[in-house]
C-alpha cells in the first residue's frame, strides 16, 4: 500500500487555521486591536468600511517593528511573547500563539507599514493570500499601520456566509467595546464608512464606561472592590432598578482580558437575589486580577474562555464582593425595625465633620410694630371671580361612565374587507347564535359545532396585531396617536444604532419621532394600540429581538418588528374584557390569514369535542 499521509502546504494550513481564528470581520478587528495594545500603544485608531468586508485598518503609535520582525510576523507560530512551554502558564499579553496575522494574510489582501522609534525609515509589506508581493523601505510614523482589504476574497464560499452589514458592524462594535473597556488608559477612535462612531480619550474606568454607553450610565454605577491573596476584584455593577432583559452590558475581565463565564455570572446573579424582577439581568463591569499561573487562557481559539485553578473560591469572593457593594451603598434593604433610614448618615458623608449652622437673631424685631410687616402682607386678599363658572360643569349630566375594560379594540382600524356588521364564520364552524364567555380572564369560550372552543386571548390578539402591523409596514401607513407631551427615552449608542436600522419601519407602524440623537430619542406619536408606559420596554424588547435573531433582509426585520410590537401591545392574560370586546376579538381572529397559531408559532385555540365532554359524565 502506498503512503497516503503527507504534509499540507503552508498556504493550505494557514487557510485551515484561519477557519478557527478568522470567523468574521469582527475576529480580525479583535486580533489587530490586541496586537496594537501588546505593542504598548497609547493611541489606537480603527477604520472600517462596509462592515469590514472591504476594509479594516488599525493604526497605533506603539513600539513598531524592525524589517525582519515585520516579515517574520506573518509566519505561522512566530511570536515574541513566549520562548518555552512554561511561558504558557504566565501569559500577560493578549496574543501569544503567532497564528493571527498568518491566518488573516491567508484569506485577505494585507498591507503592513511599521517603524520603530530609533529608525529613520520604516518597512512596507504587501501580502495577498499568504503570498508576499513586495517588501520595501517607506516613510511612515512611529508605530504600526495594518490594512486588511477584501476579506475572504479567495474563499467565496466563506464570504457568502457573512451576514448583512448591520449584523457584522454590530459584532465589530462588541469587540471594540471589549478591548476599550479592558484598557481605559488608551485612547481609541472608531470610524465606520467615514463617520465617527466612538472617540474615546484616555481616562479612568468610570469615564470610559460613560463614554461607551452614554452619559446616563454614570448614575447607574456602583463601585465594587475587594482585595484578597487569591484575587483582586474591582469594577462596577449597575443598580438593580436599571436592570434590563438583555445581557449586552455584562463584562468580565481576567488580567485585562475579556472572558465569558457562566459560572461567574451565576455568582453575580446570586448576589442580586431578591433585588431583580424575573427575567431581568443586571449590568456589570468586573475586573479580576490573578496570578497568571493560576489560570489557563489557551483552551479556546478566541481565548474568551479560560479555566481557573480555584474557581470555587473566586465564586465565593465575587458573590461576597458584589453583596458587600450593594449593602455598602444602601441598595439592599436592611431588616431592622428599630432603624430609621431618615436618620442615617449618607455613605458619601460618613467621614466628614458636621458643620453647625450659623443663627442670626434680629434683637430689634418687634412683631407688633406696623413697619415690620411687608407691603405685600398688608394687601387685602382679592378673590378671583370666574365669570362663567357654570360652564365648568356643562355636560357632566350627559357624560357616560367610562368602562374599566381595556379600550384596545376600539382603537384598531377595521380592514376594508370586513366593513359589514357580521363576518362569515362558516370556515371556523362556530355556531351562528354564539355567545362568548371569558374564563379566568385568560380564555374565551365559544360554542362550536363539535363542542366548545377555548381561545387564548393574549395569543389571539397578538395574531391580530401582527398582521395589522405587517400590513402597515409593507402596504399602508399605520394610524398614530399624538402624545400630549413628547416622550424622551435614553439609550446607549449601540442601541441607538440598532433602532436607527428599523426607524423607517417604526414610523410606518405608527411611531412619530421628533429627535433621533446619539444617546436619546424623542417620540411624539405612538401606534394606537400602544400605551405610553410600554414604549421603553417595547423598544428594549425590540433591540433584544434584533440582536438575537440577527435579521439579514428587510422582510425579516419587518417580521421581527411586527412580532415585538404585537407581543407588547396585545391584551394581557388576566385582563377583564367587556362582552363586545370579547366578540370583536373572536371576529377579528377568524379573518386573519392564519388564525390557528400566534406569531411565535404557539397554538391559539383548542376544541373540546362533545365526545370528550360526554366521557367525563359517563362514569
The neighbour count for residue 167, using CB atoms within 10 Å, is: 17
**CA gap 499, 485 in Å, rounded:** 22
| pTM (whole model) above 0.75 | no
pLDDT bracket for residue 278 (50, 70, 90) = confident
pLDDT of 330? 65
Q: Left if phi > 0, otherwise alpha if psi is -120 to 50, otherwise beta: which for 593? A: alpha
Q: What is the pLDDT of residues 544-597, one digit of tens each?
A: 877 775 555 555 777 888 888 888 778 888 888 888 888 888 888 888 888 889
The pLDDT, as a whole number, for residue 182 is: 93
Please report the beta strands in 228-358, taking only residues with DSSP state E, as ranges in sequence order: 232-238, 250-254, 257-259, 284-289, 295-296, 307-308
Residue-wise pLDDT for 349-393, tens only, equals 666 677 777 777 777 777 666 555 444 444 444 444 444 545 545
pLDDT at 302: 62
Q: 415-607 falls under which CATH superfamily?
A: MutL, C-terminal domain, regulatory subdomain (3.30.1370.100)
Cα dihedral 265/34/170/487 (nearest 10): 70
382-435 pLDDT tens trace: 444 444 545 545 554 444 444 334 444 444 333 433 433 333 344 444 544 467
Contact call for residues 237 and 339 (beta carbons, < 8 A): no
Task: State yes or no: pLDDT of 332 exceeds 70.
Answer: no
Residue at grid coordinates 458619601: 348
Residue 519 has pLDDT above 70, yes or no: yes
Domain positions in the chain are 10-200, 207-328, 415-607
Cβ(155)–Cβ(60) under 8 Å?
no
Q: Give the span between the Cα atoms of 295 and 291, in whole angstroms.
A: 7
Length of the chain: 619
Q: Which fold has domain 10-200?
A: Heat Shock Protein 90 (3.30.565)
The CATH number fitting domain 207-328, selected from 3.40.50.720, 3.30.70.1520, 3.30.230.10, 3.30.499.10: 3.30.230.10
- Give the dihedral sign, CA 260/264/270/271: negative
Strand partners, 227: 232
Residue 168 and residue 25 in contact, taking contact as beta carbons nearer than 8 Å: yes
Higher pLDDT: 523 or 82? It is 523
In 488-578, which residue ranges form alpha helices assigned H by DSSP? 493-501, 503-509, 535-549, 554-569
User: What is the reported pLDDT for 417?
Assistant: 39
Rounded to an integer, the average pLDDT of 521-540 is: 77
Average pLDDT, rounded, for the chain: 79
Q: 585: which residues sit within 8 A by CB, 6+ positions away?
A: 409, 444, 455, 457, 460, 461, 464, 571, 577
Amino acid at each position: 500500500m502506498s503512503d497516503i499521509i503527507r504534509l499540507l502546504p503552508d498556504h493550505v494550513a494557514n487557510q485551515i487555521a484561519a477557519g478557527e481564528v478568522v470567523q468574521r470581520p469582527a475576529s480580525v478587528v479583535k486580533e489587530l486591536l490586541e496586537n496594537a495594545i501588546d505593542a504598548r500603544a497609547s493611541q489606537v485608531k480603527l477604520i472600517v468600511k462596509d462592515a469590514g468586508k472591504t476594509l479594516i485598518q488599525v493604526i497605533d503609535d506603539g513600539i513598531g517593528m524592525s524589517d525582519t520582525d515585520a516579515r517574520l510576523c506573518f509566519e505561522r507560530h512566530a511570536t515574541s511573547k513566549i520562548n518555552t512551554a512554561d511561558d504558557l502558564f504566565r501569559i500577560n499579553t493578549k496574543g501569544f500563539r503567532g497564528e493571527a496575522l498568518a491566518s488573516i494574510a491567508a484569506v485577505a489582501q494585507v498591507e503592513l507599514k511599521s517603524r520603530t522609534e530609533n529608525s529613520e525609515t520604516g518597512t512596507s509589506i504587501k501580502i495577498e493570500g499568504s503570498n508576499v508581493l513586495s517588501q520595501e523601505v517607506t516613510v511612515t510614523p512611529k508605530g504600526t499601520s495594518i490594512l486588511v482589504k477584501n476579506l475572504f476574497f479567495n474563499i467565496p464560499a466563506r464570504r457568502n456566509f457573512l451576514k448583512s452589514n448591520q449584523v457584522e458592524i454590530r459584532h465589530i462594535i462588541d469587540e471594540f467595546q471589549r478591548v476599550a473597556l479592558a484598557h481605559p488608559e488608551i485612547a481609541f477612535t472608531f470610524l465606520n464608512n467615514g463617520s465617527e462612531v466612538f472617540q474615546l480619550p484616555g481616562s479612568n474606568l468610570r469615564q470610559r464606561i460613560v463614554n461607551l454607553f452614554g452619559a446616563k450610565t454614570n448614575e447607574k454605577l456602583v463601585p465594587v472592590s475587594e482585595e484578597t491573596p487569591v484575587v483582586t476584584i474591582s469594577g462596577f455593577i449597575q443598580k438593580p432598578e436599571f436592570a434590563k432583559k438583555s445581557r449586552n452590558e455584562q463584562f468580565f475581565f481576567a488580567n485585562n482580558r475579556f472572558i465569558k463565564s457562566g459560572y461567574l455570572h451565576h455568582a453575580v446573579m446570586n448576589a442580586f437575589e431578591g433585588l431583580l424582577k424575573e427575567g431581568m439581568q443586571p449590568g456589570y463591569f468586573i475586573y479580576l486580577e490573578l496570578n497568571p499561573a493560576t489560570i489557563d487562557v489557551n483552551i479556546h481559539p478566541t481565548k474568551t474562555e479560560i479555566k481557573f485553578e480555584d474557581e470555587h473560591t473566586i465564586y465565593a469572593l465575587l458573590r461576597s464582593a458584589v453583596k458587600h457593594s450593594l449593602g455598602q451603598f444602601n441598595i439592599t434593604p436592611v431588616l431592622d425595625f428599630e432603624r430609621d433610614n431618615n436618620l442615617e448618615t449618607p455613605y458619601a458623608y460618613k467621614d466628614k465633620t458636621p458643620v453647625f449652622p450659623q443663627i442670626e437673631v434680629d434683637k430689634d424685631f418687634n412683631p407688633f410694630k406696623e413697619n415690620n410687616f411687608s407691603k405685600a402682607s398688608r394687601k387685602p386678599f382679592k378673590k378671583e371671580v370666574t365669570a362663567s363658572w357654570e360652564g365648568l360643569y356643562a355636560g357632566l349630566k350627559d357624560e357616560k361612565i367610562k368602562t374599566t375594560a381595556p379600550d384596545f379594540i376600539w382603537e384598531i382600524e377595521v380592514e376594508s374587507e370586513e366593513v359589514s356588521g357580521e363576518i362569515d364564520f362558516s370556515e371556523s364552524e362556530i355556531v351562528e347564535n354564539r355567545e362568548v364567555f371569558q374564563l379566568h380572564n385568560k380564555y374565551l369560550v365559544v360554542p362550536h359545532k363539535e363542542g366548545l372552543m377555548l381561545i387564548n386571548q393574549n395569543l389571539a390578539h397578538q395574531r391580530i396585531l401582527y398582521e395589522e402591523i405587517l400590513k402597515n409596514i409593507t402596504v399602508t401607513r399605520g394610524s398614530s396617536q399624538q402624545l400630549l407631551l413628547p416622550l424622551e427615552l435614553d439609550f446607549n449608542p449601540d442601541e441607538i444604532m440598532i433602532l436607527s436600522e428599523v426607524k423607517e419601519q417604526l414610523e410606518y407602524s405608527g411611531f412619530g419621532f421628533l429627535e433621533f440623537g446619539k444617546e436619546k430619542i424623542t417620540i411624539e406619536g405612538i401606534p394606537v394600540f400602544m400605551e405610553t408606559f410600554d414604549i421603553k420596554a417595547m423598544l428594549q424588547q425590540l433591540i433584544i429581538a434584533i440582536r438575537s435573531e440577527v435579521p439579514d433582509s428587510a422582510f425579516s426585520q419587518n417580521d421581527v418588528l411586527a412580532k415585538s410590537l404585537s407581543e407588547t401591545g396585545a391584551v394581557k392574560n388576566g385582563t377583564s374584557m367587556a362582552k363586545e370586546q370579547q366578540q370583536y376579538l373572536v371576529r377579528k381572529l377568524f379573518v386573519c390569514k392564519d388564525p390557528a397559531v400566534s406569531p411565535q408559532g404557539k397554538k391559539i385555540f383548542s376544541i373540546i369535542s362533545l365526545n370528550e365532554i360526554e366521557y367525563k359524565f359517563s362514569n
